Structure 1
Amino acid sequence: MSDDPRSAMIQDGNIMRIENALVEETFCFNDSSGYIIVSYSVPGENNTSFIEYIRLNFSRNTVIINSFGQNVCPCCLQKGMWVNVIFSSRMTRSIPPQSGALLIVVKRGIQTPSSVTTAPVAYVDPSNNFLYTGNPNNINSQTRFLITDTTTITNRFGNPVSLSALRPGQLVRIRHANAMTASIPPQTTAFAVQLV
């Protein structure tokens, strides 16, 4: 019997489910849409198994969370992550087949790789939950950070502050996802923001 942790696809009415799918490829069109290609195990004869692939398209209607129920940035999904997925039973006949993802749960124990950047605030967009760092007069020097419900924002003493309390020119230290979009300015998700 195979010891591959990937499990087979299971159908339940109009939805399909795969537990322990391996993310093989990701593509993020913008901060709310893109796709992942995952692999999963299909049992064969004589205790063998085969690896199959499916492309799962996600949109702003797709729920993407970690095992603690916290939102995960779609662009933070990376090759090599293990996920549980629920998706529509309506699939294309392409290779690999495609379907619309309803729920993606990043498995417990998988840490999103992160980096720390220290830079001045260029400007703040609280209505869209974005924080821009770099030179306000040079878009090529800027980075756009998505502020989620789980992002912590603190002053230099560690006390919580709101995004709208940040001002251009203030120096901030941001712990963020390693993955960035190829846009100008590049975008990533901020996990923690602290005034320096």
Structure 2
Amino acid sequence: MNGENEDARGMITVSGSIMEVQNALVEDMFTSNSRTGYLLISYADPGENDMLNIGWDTLLIDQFGEVISLCSITKGTYVNATFSSVMTRSIPPQSNAYRIIAMVDTTSYRITTDRIVWVDTDNHFIYTGNPNDESEQIRFVISSATQIMDEDGKPLTDVDLKPGKMIRIKHASFQTASIPPQTTAFEIELLSS
């Protein structure tokens, strides 16, 4: 995504026990479950690489602030990383990542069509699924960027969303491991049936 003819990799900055690098190049990535694993990154210092351990507490987002899975970050992706200054003495050194912002080409998404179970307008959530079983529901976060419309594309608000109504939701492909799982809604279309 960065200039094809020039190396845009940044330098590491240190602030207390926190290290940061802008535009680090992902040289390698490993994950066994799409959420934990490691990234091998390089930055402006020639020959310098660090291995960032990605755990459940690591915030993984794209350049738009949307939560992503580790699988979305591939070799050749540029990332902005915040990580611990405590590093192993291995080659390459390893550190725990706190936040990774990946400059991904496109935001991946999924589409879910289901009935509304509950609308929490105070906290900007909408729930779909089985009204009698929380484990069979999904909680969608409605942000200021979420578009709500009818089938003809006319704008609506979250006040127009009522329990029992059928909706089609374009949402992030990654969900939290909570019950019910939570994800971000990009578009909500209120269906007439």
Structure 2-normalised TM-score? 0.69
- Given candidates 161, 169, 179, the residue that maps to 1:184 is 179
Equivalent residue runs for 1:1-196 within 5 Å: 10-14=11-15, 15-22=19-26, 24-25=30-31, 27=35, 37-41=38-42, 49=47, 51-55=49-53, 64-66=61-63, 70-73=64-67, 76-81=68-73, 82-87=77-82, 90-93=85-88, 96-101=94-99, 104-107=100-103, 110-196=105-191
Number of equivalenced pairs: 174
- Alpha carbons of 1:12 and 1:41: their partners in 2 closer, same or farther (altered >3 Å)? closer
Change (3 A) 1:43 1:171: closer
Would the alpha carbon gap of residues 99 and 120 (structure 1) be closer, same or farther in structure 2, given more than 3 Å must change? closer
Query: For 1:48-98, what per-residue CA distance to the aligned partner results, in whole angstroms no more than 9, with x for missing partners?
Result: x575311367979x79552xxx3313xx24324234214266335487312
**Cα 1:50/1:63, change in 2 over 3 Å:** closer
CA distance in 2, matches of 1:57, 1:6: 29
Letter of the 1:38 counterpart? L
Superposed CA offset, 1:147-183 (max 9, x none): 2232211123312222233100000001112222232
**Identical positions, percent:** 25
Q: What is the distance in 2 between the residues matched to 1:112 and 1:161?
A: 24
Instruction: Report the secondary structure of 1:79's partner residue.
Output: helix
Question: Residues of 1 paired with 2:120 and 2:37: CA distance?
Answer: 29
Taking only aligned residues, the RMSD between alpha carbons, in angstroms, comes to 3.7
CA contact (8 A) 2:111 2:171 kept: yes
Distance 1:99 1:174 in 2: 32
- Worse-superposed segment, 129-138 or 166-175: 129-138
Structure 1, unmatched stretches of 5+, are 28-34
The runs of 5 or more residues in structure 2 that have no matched partner are 1-5
